[in-house]
Amino acid sequence: MKTTMPIGQRISRFLEERYVHRTRPDYFPELAVFGIILILAVWPVFLVATALETMR
């Protein structure tokens, strides 16, 4: 079955159902996961920078 709803409207509806209609949203778990992803993404950059610095 093919949907006729545009992707922008689908995203807007998803975000609205997920965040707007909550009485008291819990942002901490999502913030913690975002922090872990950020650390995992940035950590290799620091490792490479350290390795290049020690090779000088």
Domain that holds residue 11: 7-55
Return the residue matching tokens 């620091």.
46
Residue with the larger pLDDT of the pair 7 and 35: 35
Instruction: Give the number of domains in the chain.
Output: 1
Residue 1 within a domain: no
Residue 33 lies inside a defined structural domain of this protein: yes
pLDDT per residue as tens digits for the range 17-50? 877 766 666 788 889 999 999 999 999 999 999 9
How would residue 11 be classed by pLDDT, with cut points 50, 70 and 90? Answer: confident
Q: Is residue 42 part of a domain?
A: yes
| Whole-number pLDDT of residue 22 | 66
Q: What would you measure as the largest C-alpha separation in the chain, in angstroms?
A: 60
Asked if residue 2 is part of any domain, the answer here is no
Q: Is 42 left (phi over 0), alpha (psi -120 to 50) or beta?
A: alpha
